[in-house]
Structure 1
Amino acid sequence: MATVAPQEGIFGRVKPLDAILATAEKKGLHRSLGAFQLTMLGIGAVIGTGIFVLTSEAAQKAGPAMMISFVIAGFVCAVAALCYSELASMVPVSGSAYTYTYAVMGELLAWMVGWALILEYAVGASAVAVGWSGYFVGLLRSWGIDFPLALASGPDGGGIINLPAVVIALLVTGLLILGTKESARFTSALVLVKVFALGVFVVLTLPVLNGAHFTPFIPNGWGTYGVVGAAASIFFAYVGFDAVSTAAEETVNPQRNVPIGLIGSLLFCTLFYLLVAAGAIGAIGADPVRSAAGAVLAPGSAELTAQCNAITSGGALEPLVCSKEALAHVLRSIGYERLGDLMGVAAFIALPSVVLMMMFGQTRIFFVMARDGLLPERLAAVHPKFKTPHVVTAFTGIVVTLAAAFLPVGKLADYSNSGTLFAFAMVALAVLVLRRKDPNRRRPFRTPAVFVIAPLAIAGCVGLYLNLPPIAQLVLIVWGAIGLLVYFGYSRSRSHVGRGIFDVPELDPDAPPNVGVASLPGAPAPGTPGERP
């Protein structure tokens, strides 16, 4: 271990890239993932609750224009993905946006990004678990089994606790503790199930497309409860590709494989989203449900639930915006009752892979923050048999389970988006800063037209954040304030970088080449004895 003089000041604690890479080599996780597995992990993380469930949320805000919302959200994700790819290929270690920010803009901003990523992944995993629960309960209902409402939904949905969501969150936690490679294989198999199910949906719905269902195309305008607001919510449908970058430390040849996994999975998913959205709208329509006074009702609200119940109690077909199992509902509505059930089965067996990837990303963020001393180092403990961060995985599982038990999917998705958008904007900013700060460093993947792409990513993230519901915006602010209290009350004084400590494995006999103590600020010159680990 090398001890060097810390760089003080709020923005002065920058962890050198060479030290980050060295620390990862010494205390890192086993590298076992290739390009195909990463792409499958990315698709597995992206295709999930966003398209299976949040289609209803987007329709309530944007109506048929949710297709534009998908394009807007996909564009913002695309430019952010290009920024992610450059940094992930340069810094192939766990931590994602947190690690990149630490290396470029300092510890405080890195802490805030890591804190926001905790919000993204943990709350996002809870949202997916709730979405899975909706399909599970709907599938049982189709088979003549009425699951008690009190145990199928949280208080906002008229129930007490969402028991199916609790069960799936706990099962995924156990699987993650067993091992990363096992989790990746499990996810790869389920990706094929999801892709096949969505392909069948497109084949069955596009032939019955009714052009009248696309009119009026933009019923609610472009604001927070219109097209852009729907894009801010449906952004959750694309979240997950960044989880690929958090697996960089467990990837073989990350300089090549991480960009392939990131961009490949995003492009594949975008085409599917547009086709599925067109099929759903064209088959049964996507008109928003309004109050008696004609006002737009917020997705996930008790008012919308009551209005939907009033519509269906009169014998009318349940609107798309009211369904908790949107795609299965569409198939049943156009006469494919049993195929609708199969869609429910596909969601039932495939959505857990998205819960898995969200929790996978969460635990790796916790792992690397604990490794840096910003969180209790006990959280970075690796299980002697399974070689996974079992302590932080179990803790994450408990948090995810509690959120899934009581909150609705739409609100959880919006809360998760607020943290995601902040982190993505910081990654784009980090790319710009690093291009100026360290232009000669090797970049296996370079963001094209970076001084256009990165500002577009930042502007897009800020714009979508401002069109989230006010409560979701407030969640990020309050969560950030709590994070600052934790940082200045605990983490700042225990930070390894703040104490001038860097793990440098080159001092070990078996250290990897080309990472030297002399490259660290304040380190002794070559040939000077240093502190051995």
Structure 2
Amino acid sequence: MIFGRVKSLDAILATAEKKGLHRSLGAFQLTMLGIGAVIGTGIFVLTSEAAQKAGPAMMLSFVLAGFVCAVAALCYSELASMVPVAGSAYTYTYAVMGELLAWMVGWALVLEYAIGASAVAVGWSGYLVGLLDNSLGIHIPDALANGPSAGGIVNLPAIVIAGLVTWLLVVGTTESARVNAALVVIKVAALTLFVALSIPVIRMDHFQPLFPTGIGGMAGAAASIFFAYVGFDAVSTAAEETRDPQRNVPIGLIGSLVFCTIFYLLVAAGAIGATDNVAFAQPVRDAAGTLLAPGTSQLTARCAELAGIGQEPLSCSREALAHVLRENGWVKVGNLIGLAAFLALPSVVLMMMFGQIRVFFAMARDGLLPAKLASIHPRFRTPHVMTIVTGLVVMLAAAFLPVGRLADVSNGGTLFAFAMVAASVMVLRRTDPTRHRPFRTPAVYVVGTLAVVGCVYLYYSLPMMAKVFPLIWGAGGLLIYFLYSRSRSHVGRGIVDVVDDPSMQPETSRPLH
């Protein structure tokens, strides 16, 4: 049976050989961890995309995306507390739904992590270009700062940052906790400054019409904005290090998501209503009044026309929040916001690429990928082959594709993985009800069903390309599985304890803090 290869939780824990973790984190620390992990990507990068899809209704898009993320997070946490090992949704699915679906989830996670890192790299490029232009008067030609769909040839800054992060991961350079904490402070301080300046000058007439593209447009923006919440799993995977996880994990999860949602709403309101241009946050249309799709050459051309007459709306900016402040005359403050994004976003690229490598580690450890991919550099003691392969994928996608399309494709993979986790936690309650659960999802069949339905609805709301590409990607993954991975699977060959080399067990080797 193709669905019969289930790897038991006991075998997964034996494979990981994870040493016990000290329970030291409380609710406040978990909440701060979640805020730091979530804020820093989507709100800086995708505000323009959301404005083009939904106009002022993007505020409600943040609420919808945050709700789906919250119910998925509660399901994620139960499994993370039971199986605190590398591989995240891939490992959980392997334990409950079987090898084939686990492979599909792991294959989908490439879209979440690698393509997500590409999206952040492109977003960082936009802020770098704007910062250089507005602060130093250095103009990077459009041909070298944009992909083909945005009227350029190649996004060189995005390639550079992705290449730099790849090099850092190969040589083993890690972020320190202090640097991460400083970046969190920078991000939150920058957004707080934006809110403090923009909210007092909001004009309510900017919010009419509220739904210029209908409910479907609002849902489509929510599907894109979902990218802005990815990162909450940093809270759920810390369940093993949490005091009283039954109480503190949901507080950390829901607390961080509620805080970020409110913060996002305030930022969105300021972006919509703070300028003198009444149509600033309305979607851009062509001369005939037809709505233009984000990430297209037609939108780029129309934006160039509007910029030529001094009317550059929110949807046209590659550095949305800085652009809003500059439009209001706060040029230097806008440059500071751009500087904050410039400083903070590379760490997100790094953590997403590192997450991708962890999933590949777990898959190689199970025999589903070649062991050569997980080979360790003799000097740096890092998985250099796997890191370079991941880096090349990130650089290639970032070089030629716009940020919105990358985020949508990334969300397609993420939503599939989250839906599988929600289904797995409900199945496991039936098949293994007596196993110890440091955290139990409340009202699991209600919460789990809402998570699955919410993920399916947001996936349905994605653009057609973003819905079709994961299917093509999945078909390619199935070919690899049946032609290569299935015959080499350790579970299929009856191997339980896969490897003794600690370098193949990233959760027990030195972590990337």
**Shared fold per TM-score greater than 0.5:** yes
Match of 1:457 in 2: 451
Question: Aligned pair in 2 of structure 1 residues 89, 254: CA closer, same or farther (>3 Å)?
Answer: farther
Distance in 2 between residues matched to 1:263 and 1:386, nearest whole Å: 39
Task: Return the offset for 1:214.
Answer: 0.8
Q: Residues of 2 paired with 1:376 and 1:37: CA distance?
A: 38
Which of 414, 430, 435 lines up with 1:436 in the alignment?
Answer: 430
Q: Which letter maps to 1:398?
A: L
Shift in alpha-carbon separation, 1:361–1:263, aligned structure 2, 3 A: farther
Report the alpha carbon displacement of residue 413 of structure 1 after superposing the two structures with TM.
0.5
Q: Does 1:273 pair with 2:264?
A: yes
Residue in 1 that maps onto 2:410: 416
Match of residue 194, structure 1, among 187, 207, 216: 187
- Of 280, 298, 306, the residue aligned with 1:303 is 298
* 8 Å CA contact 2:126, 2:319 repeated in 1: yes
Q: What secondary structure sits across from 2:214 in the alignment?
A: coil
Q: More displaced, 406-415 or 185-194?
A: 185-194
Change (3 A) 1:228 1:381: same
User: Which residue of structure 1 lines up, in the alignment, with residue 163 of structure 2?
Assistant: 170
Mean CA deviation greater in 318-327 or 265-274: 265-274
The superposition leaves residues 338-368 of structure 1 with CA deviations (integer Å, 9 ceiling, x where unpaired) of 0000001001001112111211211111111
Q: Equivalences for 1:165-314 in 2 at 5 Å?
A: 165-179=158-172, 182=175, 184-223=177-216, 226-242=217-233, 252=241, 256=245, 262-284=253-275, 285-314=280-309
One-letter amino acid of the structure 2 residue matched with residue 142 of structure 1: N
Letter in 1 for 2:266: L
1:21 to 3, 8, 13: 13
Which of 84, 91, 94 is equivalent to 1:99?
A: 91
Q: Give the AA of the match of 2:212.
A: P
Structure 1 residue 293: Cα displacement: 2.1
Q: How far off is 1:394 after superposition?
A: 2.2
Instruction: Please provide the CA RMSD for this pair.
Output: 2.4
Change in CA separation of 1:477 and 1:32 when aligned onto 2, cut-off 3 Å: farther
Query: 2:249·2:439 contact (CA, 8 Å) conserved in 1?
Result: no
**How far apart in 1 are the matches of 2:127 and 2:155?**
13
Unaligned segments of structure 2, at least 5 residues: 501-513
Partner of 2:112: 120
The CA distance in 2 between the partners of 1:246 and 1:379, in whole Å, is 25
Alignment CA distance shift 1:466-1:246 (3 Å): same
1:159 maps to 2:152? yes
Q: Match of 2:413, as an amino acid?
A: G
Confirm or deny that 1:378 pairs with 2:363: no
Q: Which residue of 2 aligns with 1:110?
A: 102
Q: Quick check: 140-149 or 335-344, which moved more?
A: 140-149
Match of 2:47 among 47, 55, 58: 55
The answer to whether the 8 A contact 1:40-1:187 is kept is no
Match of 1:531 in 2: none
* Structure 1, unpaired ranges of 5+: 1-8, 507-533
Matches of 1:205 and 1:43 in 2, distance apart? 22
What is the alpha-carbon distance in structure 1 between the residues aligned to residue 236 and residue 373 of structure 2?
21
Shift of 1:268: 3.2
Report the counterpart of residue 525 of structure 1 in structure 2: none
The alignment covers a number of residue pairs equal to 491
Q: Are 1:394 and 2:388 an aligned pair?
A: yes
**2-side partners of 1:422 and 1:320: how far apart?**
30
Flag the 1:57–1:254 CA change in 2: closer, same or farther, 3 A: farther
- Counterpart in the other structure of 1:510: none
The superposition leaves residues 380-421 of structure 1 with CA deviations (integer Å, 9 ceiling, x where unpaired) of 334566554333222211111111111110110011011011
- Cα shift at 1:38: 6.9
Distance 1:312 1:394 in 2: 40
Corresponding position of 1:135: 127
In structure 2, distance between residues paired with 1:86 and 1:384: 38
Over residues 11-57 of structure 1, what are the superposed CA-to-partner deviations in whole Å (9 max), with x where a residue is unaligned?
A: 1100000110111117x9x9799748876664344223311121111
AA aligned opposite 1:428: A
For residues 129 and 456 of structure 1, what CA distance do their matches in structure 2 show?
32
| TM-score, normalised with respect to structure 1 | 0.87
Matched, 1:146 2:139: yes
C-alpha distance in structure 2 between counterparts of 1:261 and 1:390, whole Å: 34
Which residue type is aligned with residue 318 of structure 1?
E
Q: Residue 501 of structure 1 aligns to a residue in which SS?
A: coil
Q: CA deviation at 1:439?
A: 0.7
Matched ranges for 1:339-354 at <5 A: 339-354=333-348
Structure-2 change in CA distance of 1:114 and 1:33 (3 Å): farther
> Which stretch shows the higher mean deviation, 458-467 or 141-150?
141-150
Offset at 1:266? 2.9
Q: Is the 8 A contact 1:246 1:364 kept in 2?
A: no
Q: Following superposition of structure 1 onto structure 2, how do residues 357-376 of structure 1 map, counting pairs within 5 Å?
A: 357-376=351-370
Cα distance in 1 for partners of 2:24, 2:142 equals 43
- Verify the 8 A CA contact 2:292 2:298 in the aligned structure 1: yes
Q: Could you tell me how far 1:162 is from its partner in structure 2?
A: 0.7
Aligned to 2:326: 332
Matching residue's letter, 1:288: P
**Equivalent position SS for 2:274:** helix
Contact residue 48 and residue 354 of structure 1 kept, 8 A: yes
Higher Cα radius of gyration: 1
- Give how far 1:308 is off: 0.9
Whether the 8 Å CA contact 1:46–1:354 is kept in 2: the answer is: no
Query: Are the equivalent residues in 1 in contact too, given 2:49–2:221 (CA < 8 A)?
Result: yes
Tell me the TM-score normalised to structure 2 length: 0.90
Q: Which AA in structure 2 matches 1:104?
A: V
CA shift for structure 1 position 170:
1.4
Aligned in 2, Cα 1:246/1:398: closer, same or farther, shift over 3 Å? farther
Question: Relative to structure 2, which stretch is displaced further, 228-237 or 480-489?
Answer: 228-237
For the 8 Å contact 1:61–1:220, the answer to whether it is kept is: yes
